[in-house]
């Protein structure tokens, strides 16, 4: 059985309020020749260095199968960083940053490759003073997790030296259903302790997602209204104008519900619906998020038919360009029943949210892209102004991407002699308000992992609770004798008409982004 040495005590952490500086370490990226390393991980680490937050004693080791040298790997990463860094490249800074990067060629199943990795990490500790701290990043398919973790344990790389730490970051998808998620949790926790396991969801690294807690709990004008007495309903939308691109096989095995709702959108729902944590440490915050998932009203097959709409895009036009149907995409079955759109009416069965519906939708090939949360407050009494004029409710919109920010729609009198009321927006944009671009999501998440702060990472019980809820819907679609229909919608539209009807039955309508 795999064992764990005692870890050095972490410095006092206060979660979102006061994260310590990241500690010297070596970041080992498995699957380093993949797209994520080039587009996100290395540019994120470079941006952190540019902001002055990266420890001087930090090394990066790319672990992959392809034949490369340290220099060829560095040159490829330089080209990618010039393209994808949010702030370009400073030649002097890149010159020193590239010397931190190394390449290690090995097959994932080659034990000797891990033995050589252990030797190289020990040498880097001595040469670069990384103190034996290691952060393993599994940027690979979930089918590779078990083999990599087993080999790490076999050569003792999961057990740090006294006074050091070892952590693992696991990329999504973390399972495809509850049994597979439980199996993966078991595999990971056999090698790494839960507190050393970081399941990454890049949505939680986005600046506005982090700001939801601050908006709620640091502003006295919002939290008193954040309940069923004042909020009519909540809408969460994730829209994409893109199709499945080259991801046909993956999407065929996943679909919109498992690809986006189970992780990203349920995470956002939790931040909106959670109770105030006792403090800002990782487990206090995650305890409250788990309570929300557990409070989601489970759905029987008949509930799924009434509360969930699944759709698939057909031929159409997006941004003036003709696009093909999902079933005509590369490596997609011409008879596919995979959903590219899903809309759900959810309920959080607790006191705060009694009878407040949460409408969640995600879709591909929609007219525009973006992710937002819209809090629709109840309408003001019609005694004075609402009686004879169409005065809409107040809406608080939290824009997750793009153009991160927050806006509040209020009613105001139009200038003139007559009383004409029109909605106006009070708008806050991160870029203009603070004079600089928001950090990329991976920057924050990598910093947190290096600092030992798991607040923005999913815990095993949270992942399993989310799958338990999602599996009921999947079973109604695929295992029930009479599944609800798969609705069609033309590419470039806002989804199937049945999704509009989902809200119209309640006297509501989707907000147009």
Annotated catalytic sites, by residue? 264
Q: Which helix (H) or strand (E) holds 363?
A: strand 357-363
Q: What DSSP state is assigned to residue 41?
A: I
Phi and psi dihedrals of 243, rounded to 5? -90, -150
Structure tokens belonging to residue 128: 């670069």
Answer for the pair 425, 409: CB distance below 8 angstroms, yes or no. yes
CA–CA separation, 455 and 280 (whole Å): 8
With b for 16 or more beta-carbon neighbours within 10 A and e for fewer, the 21-45 pattern comes to: ebbbbbbbbbbbbbebbbebbbbbb
Cα(15)–Cα(286) distance, rounded to whole angstroms?
A: 11
Of 143, 193, 142, residue with least CA distance to 167:
193
DSSP structure string for 335-349? T----SEEEEEEEB-
Closest CA to 261 of 227, 244, 237: 237
β partners of residue 398: 373, 406
- The half-sphere exposure of 122 on its side-chain side, counting CA atoms within 13 A, is 11
What is the Cα Rg of the chain in Å?
24
Residues contacting 96, CB < 8 A, separation 6+: none
Closest CA relative to residue 216, chosen from 291, 274, 287 = 274
CB-based contacts of 395, cutoff 8 Å, min separation 6 = 374, 375, 376, 377, 408, 409, 511
CB atoms within 10 A of CB 185: 21
Looking at the DSSP assignment, which residues form a beta bridge with residue 310? Answer: 342, 486
Angle, vertex CA 397, rays to CA 379 and CA 257, nearest 5 = 105
Please state, in angstroms and rounded to a whole number, the distance separating the CA atoms of residues 89 and 483.
Answer: 53
Torsions phi, psi of 421, nearest 5?
Answer: -105, 135
7, 165 Cβ separation under 8 angstroms: yes
Q: What does the DSSP assignment read for 387-442? A: TTS-PPPPEEEEEEESS-EEEEEEEEEPSSSS--EEEEEEEEEHHHHHSSPPPPHH
CA distance 316 to 321: 8
Q: What does the alpha-carbon distance between residue 125 and residue 33 come to, in Å, rounded to a whole number?
A: 24
């Amino acid at each position: 059985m795999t064992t764990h040495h005692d870890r050095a005590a972490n410095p006092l952490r206060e979660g979102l309020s006061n994260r310590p500086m990241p500690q010297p370490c070596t970041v080992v990226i498995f699957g380093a020749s993949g797209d994520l390393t080039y587009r996100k991980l290395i540019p994120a680490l470079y941006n952190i260095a540019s902001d002055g937050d990266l420890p001087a004693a930090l090394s990066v080791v790319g672990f992959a199968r392809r034949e490369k040298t340290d220099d060829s790997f560095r040159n490829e990463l330089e080209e990618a960083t010039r393209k994808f860094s949010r702030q370009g490249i400073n030649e002097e800074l890149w010159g020193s940053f590239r010397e931190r990067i190394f390449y290690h060629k090995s097959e994932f199943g080659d034990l000797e490759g891990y033995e050589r990795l252990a030797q190289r990490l020990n040498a880097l500790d001595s040469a670069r003073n990384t103190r034996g701290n290691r952060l393993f990043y599994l940027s690979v398919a979930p089918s590779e997790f078990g083999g990599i973790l087993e080999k790490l344990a076999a050569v003792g790389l999961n057990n740090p030296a006294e006074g050091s730490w070892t952590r693992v970051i696991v990329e999504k998808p973390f399972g495809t259903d509850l049994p597979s998620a439980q199996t993966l949790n078991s595999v990971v926790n056999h090698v790494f302790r839960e507190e050393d396991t970081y399941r990454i969801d890049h949505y939680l690294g986005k600046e506005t997602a982090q700001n939801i807690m601050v908006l709620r709990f640091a502003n006295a004008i919002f939290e008193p209204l954040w309940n069923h007495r004042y909020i009519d309903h909540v809408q969460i939308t994730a829209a994409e104008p893109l199709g499945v691109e080259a991801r046909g096989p993956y999407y065929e095995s996943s679909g919109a519900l498992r690809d986006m709702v189970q992780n990203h959108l349920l995470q956002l729902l939790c931040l909106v619906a959670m109770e105030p944590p006792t403090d800002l440490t990782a487990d206090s915050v995650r305890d409250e998020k788990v309570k929300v998932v557990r409070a989601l009203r489970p759905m029987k097959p008949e509930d799924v038919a009434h509360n969930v709409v699944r759709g698939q895009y057909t031929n159409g036009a997006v941004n003036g360009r003709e696009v093909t149907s999902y079933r005509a995409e590369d490596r997609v079955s011409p008879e596919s029943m995979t959903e590219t759109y899903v809309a759900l009416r959810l309920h959080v069965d607790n006191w705060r949210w009694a009878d407040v519906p949460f409408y969640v939708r995600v879709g591909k090939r929609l007219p525009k892209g973006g992710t937002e949360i819209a809090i629709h407050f109840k309408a003001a009494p019609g005694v004075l102004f609402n009686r004879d004029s169409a005065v809409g409710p107040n809406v608080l919109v939290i824009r997750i991407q793009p153009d991160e920010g927050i806006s509040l729609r209020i009613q105001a009198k139009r200038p003139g002699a007559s009383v004409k009321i029109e909605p106006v927006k009070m708008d806050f944009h991160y870029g203009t308000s603070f004079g600089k671009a928001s950090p990329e999501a991976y920057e924050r998440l990598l910093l947190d992992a290096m600092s030992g702060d798991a607040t923005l990472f999913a815990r095993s019980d949270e992942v399993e609770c989310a799958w338990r809820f999602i599996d009921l819907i999947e079973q109604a679609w695929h295992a029930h004798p009479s599944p609800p229909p798969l609705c069609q919608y033309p590419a470039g539209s806002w989804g199937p008409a049945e999704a509009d009807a989902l809200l119209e039955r309640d006297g509501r309508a989707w907000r147009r982004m």
